[in-house]
Amino acid sequence: MVKVPEEIKEMLEKQAIGRKVPISTCSEDVPNVIYVGFIKMHGDEEVLIGDNFLNKTRENLEKNPRLSMILYDPGIKKSYQLKGSTEIYTEGKIYEEAKKEFIESRMKRSDKYPTEAAVLEKYPIKSVVLVKIEEIYDSMGKVGAGKRIL
């Protein structure tokens, strides 16, 4: 695993609030990409994703536990691709703590985003995906794009 720099951690937290984070998975031969909103850093080397709609994504991760995500901040004109291996939790400490944190963070924002609380009631978090970050790339469209930075 690699230690995620503070700038990238901040981008992930910021992007998850407003624009969501695109993640990509692949089974043996069928790629899938979706936006996730229940996503947060877990320490310095891992990311947690709450699963309330990850149907094809979860099927892919069960066949191939690799995941990629893109972070983009138009304000600072930077973008990064993070890649890692995953573990899926449906019970236990990681699942319970992450589920609680995701719910609490949405309830704090329910006055600004009232539909999020309703979505959680109708579509609760079924599992939590732990992503162990192993590679980070510069993905901004400029010289050096695609270069591995960690």
pTM of the model: 0.89
**Two structure tokens written together for 95:** 């699942």
**What pLDDT score does 114 carry?**
62
Q: Sketch out the chain's domains with CATH numbers.
A: 6-138 (2.30.110.10)
Question: Which run of H or E residues covers position 71?
Answer: strand 66-73
Sheet holding 66-73, edge to edge: 31-36, 21-26, 66-73, 78-89, 127-138, 46-51, 39-42
Q: CA-to-CA distance for 92 and 127, rounded, in angstroms?
A: 10
Q: CA-to-CA distance for 112 and 47, rounded, in angstroms?
A: 25
**What pLDDT score does 94 carry?**
95
DSSP character string of 9-65: HHHHHHHHHHT-EEEEEE-SS-EEEEEESSEEEETTTEEEEEESS-HHHHHHHHH--
Per DSSP, what are the bridge partners of residue 40? 48
Q: Which residues of the chain have pLDDT under 50?
A: none
Q: CA-to-CA distance for 124 and 36, rounded, in angstroms?
A: 14
Q: Is 146 in a helix, a strand, or coil?
A: coil
- For the chain, percent helix, then strand, then coil, each to nearest 5? 30, 35, 30
